[in-house]
Structure formats: structure tokens, C-alpha cells
Chain A
Amino acid sequence: MTDALLSVRNLRVEFPTRRGILTAIDDVSFDIMPGEVLGVVGESGAGKSLTGAAIIGLLEPPGRIASGEILLKGQRIDNLDAESMRRIRGKRIGMVFQDPLTSLNPLYTVAQQLIETIRTHADISEAEARTRAVALLDRVGIPAAARRIDDYPHHFSGGMRQRVVIALALCAEPELVIADEPTTALDVSVQSQIIDLIKEICAERGAAVMLITHDMGVIAETADRVAVLYAGRLAEIGPVREVITAAEHPYTAGLMGSIPTLTQDNARLVQIPGAMPRLNAIPQGCAFNPRCERAFDRCFRDRPDPIDRGDGRKVACWLYDAAGVAAKEKADV
């Protein structure tokens, strides 16, 4: 367990509101191994972006980490002061956000921003930093990088901008890159380019990636493992191939069935009835119970914790609780 690059332990993020405290992330734990791509998938409001924000210490107030630990190579980073956290961000954890425009300062050229970031984290001369920046832009696929480096962000197209952001996230050679919906704002044809780029370049540099997205297709193509979040809780985590081809949690299974694909041929899509509960109306027991066709009495009473299924898979569902299943079978007989 100690060799994990990033360890999130029982993370709980709360938003105090006037109608009581909303728990946006509720007891979520997972690890990211060095060099691994972990996909974090969920619908809007599932808490996937908040998890990313909590890790890099950028939760918007009044949101706060109420309990749990976040460890980067065994060192706690959830209780650091703003200054130490700022040093970790950028140096050890790089970030790529959905909208490339918000990650780039419109008033500075790409060169200025890259060189500044490189020099904050590495003690090298400006000329040296510039050489590195050009090489990096070239690597992320910006044509004529040596010339375009002195352009301002608005001179670049959306896809090119996201490439610049990726260069910026990688320029301090971080151990972990958190990419929050990096392709959502881009056109389909550009999306696949960016996905390929993130995957290749992180593998090349040995950086682990936490890829946050709502798009299972992106996860399928990119991630080694996937964590499925539902209503702020971890529903299922495991190797991508297994989770996608043989989902265990009824929510994941429903989610996979509801995605139209280029190969499926049934007239109707599998649909999960209802919608994800609002944070102020999460039901007792399993959060998924109102929408679950396989729910039984225990699901309405107790909340399932992730159950170890072997091969690195965990599922938070009572259906897989050996003791519970045995008890149920006995009752059925």
C-alpha cells in the first residue's frame, strides 16, 4: 500500500449551507500507482471534479475537507498551508482543466508562462528554460513551436490551446497530472488527438494521470483503472477492461448499457430509471437504491462499503457481500 503515488483515504468533502451540511464526497478511498492512468467517471454532481479539486487543494469555499487523508508518496498534503500546497501544485502535480482559456493567462505570451513555470521549479537560466519550453511545445504537437511560442493564448485554436495547457502542466515534470474533463470543450475530431497526446506523453515521462471525465469512451481508450463515482460515493473501482466488459455494480452496468455505441444493434437503450439524487436527498442505505432493480431490504437499511472482489476490483454493493448473499440464500430456501 505504501508504494502508491497518491493515496486518498476516506475523503469526505462537505458544503455547509443554511439548510444543513451537504456531503458532496462521502468516504471515498483510492490509490494511484506511479505511472498509472486512473479514470474517474461519474455523472454531473457525482463529485468527480470535487475529488480532483480536493487533492490539489483548490476546493472553492465554503467547501472543505471534513475528514480523511490525502497522501502523496506517503506524505500528507490535505493539511498543508497555502504556500506549501502551491509549491506542490505545478511542481509535483500538474493540472489540465476543461476550458483551456481559464488555465492560461491571456495577458502573457505562451513563452512567458512556460518559462516562468519551468524556472519556478527548476534552477536554470532563462535561455535554457526557453529551449526546454520550445522542445515541450514541439512534443505536444504545436507546429513551428519556436515561432509560435511568443504568441498569446488567444492566437491559438481550442485544440492547440489545450496542447499548450498540457505542456504547461508537464513542464515541471510532475509525478501526477490531474486532467479534469480535458476534452469536453473540444470537437470530436480534436478530442481523440488530445486523448492520445495525454496518454503518450505521460507514459513517456512516467507521470501518473488522474483522468476525470463523464465520457466512458475516453476512459476506455485511455485509463488503466477506472473509479466510478455515484452521489459522492465510490461505486466501483477496478481495471478498465474488466469494469467495462463485466461491470459488477448495478449502476455501472446500467451506465454502460445506456451508452449508444457504434456496434450495438438493439432498438432500445438500457435505461436507469430516475436521476441521481440531489445532495440534500441522498436516501438511507445505498445511494443507488431507488434506481436499482436488484435492490433488496439490506440496501435500504445499510450503506455498503467497497467490497474487495480480488484482482484489484472493489464494488460497493451488498450483492457481492459473501456473508450477506449466503444469508439471503438461506432465507430464500
Chain B
Amino acid sequence: MSDALLKIAHLTRYFDVSKPWLNRVLEREEKQFLTAVADVSFEIRRGETFALVGESGSGKSTIAKMVVGLLGASEGLIEFDGHRMTGTAGAEMRDLRRRFQMIFQDPFASLNPRWRVGDIIAEPIHTFGLLKGADVTKRVGELLDTVGLSSKDAEKFPHEFSGGQRQRIAIARALSSKPEFIVCDEPTSALDVSVQAQILNLMKDLQDEMGLTYLFISHDLSVVRHMANRIGVLYLGRLVEVADGKRLFTDPQHPYTRMLLDAVPDLALSGRRRKPVEGEIPNPINPPPGCAFHPRCPLAMPRCKVDAPVPVQTATGHAACFALEKQTA
């Protein structure tokens, strides 16, 4: 496991969701905290795609933002290629920043509407001072070419492009600082399926050519299955299961993973009868005690309501569930 590019240990993030001070005093309320991410640990090996799946409130985007430094961690540790991200500053941090990038969900919000495409793509080049003058223009042209656009597009503005083309521009920008690691936060969920296929294929091609490492965030299990080598399943900010890509789908361990898989519409019309999914995601401000999944879990035992399960080893990863402990014991 020495080839881990990104290492995350006991990562936790609280958000203060209290009412303003005056209201709190008048209404005699305590401060309220929302635990968006609770004690999450995983490693991403060089060259692989690690996916985080989860529904709304699972904390997957919060983790993405902490990894790239848009949000600070409340507790825990993020290590990029052996460098601790918290506490690093100055030139060392600048050098680290060059090596990771992010692709966002909404291609209509991720490009500044007032900038020309060429300037958007060149922004990281200028910020890191990688190239100067005509070399920048040349590099921007190459990047546009790489993502399947034309170097002439550098002169245009974002509104002249469709959603899929904009996402290509965003990818070109992410590539321009020659990063090793890219955090992809739902990169295709705002796109139509036929365009989604183009973008997913492009991202796979780029990974093969440049040896990129991806942290891939998505709510769509089929997309994740297509993209990821390893997958982490999040529920209410807790990592409930980690497994190898295909294994998660053939042999899901955690009851929540199984439930998610059952909820995916069956396009193959195999006629498999889906088990009805029970209940909805609880409010993350007051998550259920013990295992957060127990109110919806078909395997729930009295113990699940009291203690939080610790991850147990599975065939290709780990899962946090007492029912599994019993099996192995």
C-alpha cells in the first residue's frame, strides 16, 4: 500500500447550523452541528479511479471539497503523496496544488461567462507560472485538441457551447497544470445520457494516456460501476462499505449497498423482482443513534440501535455492519 497517492484518515467535518446568536439566546437553544462527514478513512492508489457513491446528505461532495482544500477538515488527516495537506503552506503548498485539480458538476456555472475559453483554460498555467507568451496559446490549442474541441474555440465565450462541450472545456482547464490527480464531483450528472457517454469515455482515455488518478463522486451506481476500480459507499457521512469495482455489484456486503443496487432501474428488462426500498434518508442533524442505517435496515438487531459498527474485513475491502461480524465469527 506504499503506492497510495491520496490517503485520508479519520476525516470528519462538522457544520455549524445554529440559528444566529440572538435567536439562540432568546429561544434558549443549544448550538446545533451537522456532521456531514464522520470518521472516513480510505486510500487512493496511483493510477486508479476511486469512486464515492451516496445519496443526498451522504457527505460525498464535502469530502471532495476537503480533498482539494475548498473546505477545512474538522478532524482527521489528508495526505497527498506523503505530504500532509493541513498545515502545508507557501511554495510547498503551491507545488502540491499544481498536482491536483477538480472537475465540477455544473458546466454552466463552472466557467466564468465573461472570459474567453482560451483565458479560462490558461488560468492555471498563468497562476502557476508554467508557460509564457506564445507558448501558452500553443498549449491551450493542444489542450482543446486533446478534449475533442478545436484550437479556434479559444476565441469564443462559454455561452457559445453546449453542456457537453463546456464540460470538455472544464476538463481542458483541469488538465492545463498537468496534474496527477483529479477530483471529479458528479461530472456528468448535469448532462444528457448521450453526452455523458462522450465525457465518460474521454475521461477514461485521458486516464490511460496520462496516468491520471481520479476521485470520482457520483450518485449514479451504473456510472460508478463503469468508471471505478474501487468504490466507497457513503451513508449519512459514514463510509459503510469499500470494495473493488465489480465485486461491489456482484457481492454487496452492507445492507445499504444492497438496497442501493436494488433501487437501480432494470434496463435489461431481466424481470428481476426488486425488493421494495424502505423509508427515506433521516435528517443529518439528528442522525439515528448506533448504526445510522438501522431504521431502514432489514437486518437490524437491538445492538445496531446502540453501538456504531466498526469496519470488518471483507473479500476486497471492508464494511461496517454488525450482521457481517456475526457471519465471520
- Which residues of A line the B interface, CB within 8 A? 43-44, 157-160, 187-193, 195-196, 214-218, 220-221, 240-241, 244-245, 254-264, 267-273, 275-276
Pick the contact of A216: B198, B221, B267, B281 (CB < 8 A). Answer: B267
Instruction: Assess the B265–A215 pair: CB atoms within 8 A.
Output: yes
Closest to B161 in A: A275
Is residue B277 within 8 Å, beta carbon to beta carbon, of the partner chain? Answer: yes
Residues from chain A with Cβ under 8 Å of B277 in the complex = 189-190, 192-193
With A269-B197, A271-B194 known, 15 other A-B pairs at CB within 8 A are A43-B195, A158-B280, A187-B56, A187-B219, A189-B263, A189-B280, A192-B274, A215-B265, A240-B269, A259-B193, A260-B220, A260-B226, A261-B267, A268-B201, A272-B198
> A271: which B residues are within 8 A, CB to CB?
194, 197-198, 201
**Inter-chain contact B201/A188, CB cutoff 8 Å:** no
- For B190, the closest partner residue in chain A by CB is A44
Q: Provide the main secondary structure of the chain A interface.
A: helix
Given contacts A214-B193, A259-B193, contact A269 B226 (CB under 8 A): yes
Q: A188-B263, A192-B265, A275-B162 are in contact. Are A268 and B204 (CB under 8 A)?
A: yes
- A101 nearest CB across to chain B (Å): 15
**Whole-angstrom distance from the CB of A212 to the nearest CB of chain B?**
15
**Which residues of B sit under 8 angstroms from A245, Cβ to Cβ?**
269
Q: Quick one: closest A residue to B256, CB to CB? A: A189
The minimal Cβ–Cβ distance linking B269 to chain A, given in whole angstroms, is 6
Q: Given contacts A220-B269, A262-B249, are A270 and B197 in contact (CB under 8 A)? A: yes
**Among all A-B residue pairs, the 8 with the closest Cβ atoms:** A217-B265, A258-B197, A43-B192, A260-B226, A269-B197, A187-B55, A260-B222, A271-B197
A264 — which chain B residues lie within 8 A by C-beta? 226
Against A, the Cβ 8 Å flags (1 = close, 0 = not) of B262-286 are 1111111110001011001100000
- Within B142-178, which residues are at the interface with A (CB < 8 Å)? 162-165
Q: Which of B169-220 contact A (CB under 8 A)?
A: 192-198, 200-201, 204, 219-220
* Size band of the interface chain B makes with A: 35 or more
A314 to chain B, nearest CB (A): 21
The distance in angstroms between the C-alpha atoms of A276 and B195, with both chains bound, is 9
Distance A142 CA – B84 CA, assembled complex (angstroms):
49
| A98 CB to nearest B CB, Å | 15
Contact in complex: A157, B280 (CB < 8 Å): yes
| In contact, B280 and A159 (Cβ under 8 angstroms) | yes
Closest B residue, CB atoms, query A218: B265
Instruction: For the complex, give the distance between the alpha carbons of A56 and B278 in Å.
Output: 34
**In-complex Cβ contact of B276 among A187, A193, A220, A257 (8 A):** A193
Shortest Cβ gap from B184 to chain A (Å): 15
Closest to B208 in A: A267
Interface residues of B in 309-324 (CB under 8 A from A): none
Instruction: Tell me if B8 is interfacial: C-beta within 8 Å of chain A.
Output: no
- Give, as a whole number of angstroms, the nearest-CB distance from A83 to chain B: 38
Cβ B197 vs Cβ A187 within 8 A? no
Whether B225 contacts A260 by the Cβ 8 Å rule is yes
Tell me, yes or no, whether B297 is within 8 Å of chain A by CB.
no
Could you say which of A159, A193, A216 has the most chain B C-beta atoms within 10 Å of its C-beta? A193
B261 located at the interface, meaning its Cβ lies under 8 Å from any Cβ of chain A in the complex: yes
CB of B223 within 8 Å of the partner chain? yes
Q: List 23 A-B contacts (CB under 8 A).
A: A160-B280, A187-B219, A188-B220, A189-B277, A190-B280, A192-B276, A214-B192, A216-B193, A217-B266, A217-B267, A220-B266, A220-B267, A240-B269, A244-B267, A244-B269, A245-B269, A258-B194, A260-B225, A262-B222, A263-B268, A267-B204, A269-B226, A275-B195
Tell me if B's interface is mostly helix, strand, loop or mixed.
helix
Bound CA span A297–B197, Å: 28
Which residues of B does A touch, CB under 8 Å?
55-56, 162-165, 192-198, 200-201, 204, 219-223, 225-226, 249, 259-270, 274, 276-277, 280-281
Q: How far is the CB of B272 from chain A (nearest CB, A)?
A: 10
B196 to chain A: closest residue by CB: A258
Task: List B contacts of A217 (CB < 8 A).
Answer: 264-267
Question: How near does chain B come to A171, taking the closest CB pair, in angstroms?
Answer: 23
A195 to B263 alpha-carbon distance, docked (Å): 10
Q: Which of B192, B221, B265 has the most CB of A within 10 A?
A: B265
Which residues does chain B contribute within 8 Å of A160, judged by CB atoms?
A: 280
Do the beta carbons of B265 and A195 come within 8 Å of each other? yes
Whether the Cβ atoms of B276 and A196 lie closer than 8 Å is: yes
Candidate in B56, B192, B268 with the most chain A CB atoms within 10 angstroms: B192
Q: Whole-angstrom distance between the alpha carbons of A264 and B277 in the complex?
A: 24
Q: Give the CA-CA distance A216 to B268 in the complex, in Å.
A: 11
A261 CB contacts on chain B under 8 angstroms: 222, 267-268
Provide the bound-state CA to CA distance between A186 and B56, in Å: 9
- Cα of A272 to Cα of B193 in the assembled complex, Å: 10
Cα–Cα distance between A217 and B265 once the two chains are bound (Å): 5
Which of B196, B262, B280 counts the most chain A CB atoms within 10 A?
B280
**Residue in A262, A263, A271 with the greatest tally of chain B CB atoms within 10 Å:** A262
Q: Measured between alpha carbons, how far is A82 from B119 in the docked complex, in Å?
A: 51
Residues of the A chain whose Cβ atoms lie less than 8 Å from the Cβ of B280: 157-160, 187, 189-190
Distance of A154 from chain B, by nearest CB (Å): 13
Say how far B221's CB is from chain A's closest CB, in angstroms: 7
Q: Determine if B226 and A188 form an interchain contact, defined as CB atoms under 8 angstroms apart.
A: no
B163, B223, B259, B277, most chain A CB atoms within 10 A? B277
Closest to B192 in A: A43
